Amino acid sequence: METILEQQRRLHEERERLVDAMRKESLHNKTTLRENINSDHRIKILLDKGIDVCNTLTELYEDNDGLRQEEVEAIAGPNEFQEFYKRLKEVKDFHRKHPNEIFIPMTVEFDELDKARESPTDEMNNMVEFTDEEAYGRFLDLHECYMLYINLKGCEKISYVKYLDTFDKLFDMPKDRKNKAYEKYLQVLLDYLVSFCSRIKPLLDLSAELDKVKTTFTEQWESSEFPGWGKEAGSAMAHTGAHLDLSAFSSAEELASLGLDRLKSALMALNLKCGGTLDQRAERLYITKGKRMEDLKPSLFSKAKSAKREDPNRGKGVAFLEAQVYHLMDLLGEQRQATRDNVQRRQARTGTERADDGEEVASESESEEDEDEIIYNPKNLPLGWDGKPIPYWLYKLHGLNINFKCEICGNQTYRGPKAFQRHFSEWRHAHGMRCLGIPNTAHFANVTQIEDAMALWTKIKQAKDAERWNPEHEEEFEDSAGNVVTKKTYDDLQRQGLL
């Protein structure tokens, strides 16, 4: 029985009520993460409904079929009273045929929304489906992606905690390993991140965000500046290699301490084959010590390959997947850190403790109560497994009030002697030593100054030179009388004709 104008009036009323409902939902006090996520999803539902109402109103106002114009002309024409009584008769006839028809006003629907907001049901409290590991949007569940990653060919078998630290550092993966399996892994990772982000941030326009990523990625790709795919830093070393002084090394094992990349660079500088494992590269490079290039076997040299024109868009699809992962991890940085802390906390607990807590993740009720609480920490103490500052006596006992600075690590500061001693075997210190051209061996333990490390390396090389076998002084000869003399003495006696 609704006319076009009545439909427009009803749609305008519904739109205003939807805006008011979104306002009330936004102003409603929310104390936990679960309430925030559920509230955002309710606002999303109201917003989508409001968009549909606006689209319907736009179509009615455009009046492509001309029905609205006919109705306006009928009401405003010379026979407006005749039109009025005609419509009144239609209304009376309708109520005569349907005497028990019940009309539910729009106010009832929105009043029910207000009541549900004040006393939510179980369905309202669980509007989104999350796994147990995700703890209703608090943590990421990357176990499936982790299993795919550790099964990639050539990837290091790392722990789940380390994977959470490094899974978005895709630029560290060599381009020759970015194959179909790697692309499949990236797609699974991206699908999960998009799904998780849409569940915890329903009001975020992901399509608009990914459009921005595409624009930025296109510019970086065309200028060859995209991380891991563009012009690599130190291109001279990457393509022509850098020579390595082998006089300071007495075995292939010492060469192996320099790492795969440095050995590859040294082999490329000599035009030798640079493939194989770490030990194979070290053996191949050590063979060249003290020899001329003409004396080496031809099989050691790499075959000259005809220059092929590489497709400039090769790998662009994989690189775009990486760009989307980078952007989504910028949006989910807080959840990523919380996931890592939660995994470490769970690993520190025994099975009995987890059974007593009745959970595999941190208790949601406890975490939600403390989530928005401002922790009083005037002395800036480290946080314990429960998210609270550790006791001050424990802070002093472990020496966390003492800071150690390492110049080799780029003036990185380490808190406490335990972290300081551990950093000598970590990647940052090893990378700094490789940049200096020094093997990261036990000789350089507790050395943090670049000048001290260089001086010690020079001293070690001099000691190795002194220990090296010298034929002039150590090669022994026997004269005609049976006397054992050095090579120099033997030559002198032979020149004088005394032998």
Task: At 246, list the tokens.
Answer: 């082998």
Judged by average pLDDT, the poorest of 6-10, 153-157, 199-203, 365-369 is 365-369
- The string of pLDDT tens digits covering residues 26-58 is 888 888 888 899 899 999 999 999 999 999 999
Higher pLDDT, 311 or 467: 467
Task: At 62, list the tokens.
Answer: 């455009």
Beta carbons within 8 Å of 291's beta carbon, 6+ residues apart:
none
Question: What is the rounded distance in angstroms from the CA atom of residue 197 to the CA atom of residue 205?
Answer: 10
Write out the H or E segment, with its range, that includes residue 119. Answer: none
- The string of pLDDT tens digits covering residues 299-322 is 777 764 433 444 567 788 888 999
What are the backbone dihedrals phi and psi of residue 126, each rounded to the nearest 5 degrees, phi first?
A: -130, 65
- Within a 10 A sphere around the Cβ of 186, how many other Cβ atoms? 24
Which CB contacts under 8 angstroms, 24+ apart, belong to 278-285?
279/252, 281/256, 282/252, 282/253, 282/255, 282/256, 283/252, 285/244, 285/246, 285/252, 285/255
CA angle 158/161/162 to nearest 5° reads: 45
Task: At 109, list the tokens.
Answer: 């629907």
For residue 359, pLDDT over 60 is answered with: no
- Cβ(265)–Cβ(241) under 8 Å? yes
Judged by average pLDDT, the poorest of 327-341, 368-382, 478-492 is 368-382
Write out the H or E segment, with its range, that includes residue 375. Answer: none
Q: Which of 149, 184, 153, 147 is nearest to 168 (CA)?
A: 149
Please provide the size of the chain in residues.
Answer: 499
**Mean of all residue pLDDT scores within the chain:** 82
Query: Looking at residues 468-478, what average pLDDT do you find?
Result: 76
Query: Looking at residues 413-425, what average pLDDT do you find?
Result: 90
Q: What proportion of the chain, given as a percentage, has pLDDT over 90? A: 22
For residue 179, pLDDT over 90 is answered with: no
For residue 203, pLDDT over 70 is answered with: yes
Predicted pLDDT of residue 307: 37
Query: Looking at residues 246-268, what average pLDDT do you find?
Result: 79
What are the backbone dihedrals phi and psi of residue 332, each rounded to the nearest 5 degrees, phi first?
A: -110, 25
Q: Which of 423, 384, 379, 422 is nearest to 401 (CA)?
A: 379
For residue 358, pLDDT over 70 is answered with: no
Higher pLDDT, 298 or 459: 459
Question: What is the rounded distance in angstroms from the CA atom of residue 317 to the CA atom of residue 187?
Answer: 11
Beta carbons within 8 Å of 31's beta carbon, 6+ residues apart:
368, 372
Per-residue confidence band for 351, with pLDDT thresholds at 50, 70 and 90: low
Cite the beta strand spans of 330-483 per DSSP E: 403-406, 412-415, 476-478
Query: For the residues of 271-316, what is the DSSP string, one character each?
Result: TB---S-HHHHHHHHHHTTT--GGGS-GGGBPPP-------TTTTH
Higher pLDDT, 289 or 306: 289
Higher pLDDT, 112 or 329: 329
Predicted pLDDT of residue 143: 92
Question: What is the rounded distance in angstroms from the CA atom of residue 409 to the CA atom of residue 406?
Answer: 5
Tell me, rounded to whole angstroms, the distance of Cα 421 from its chain centroid: 27
Higher pLDDT, 166 or 2: 166
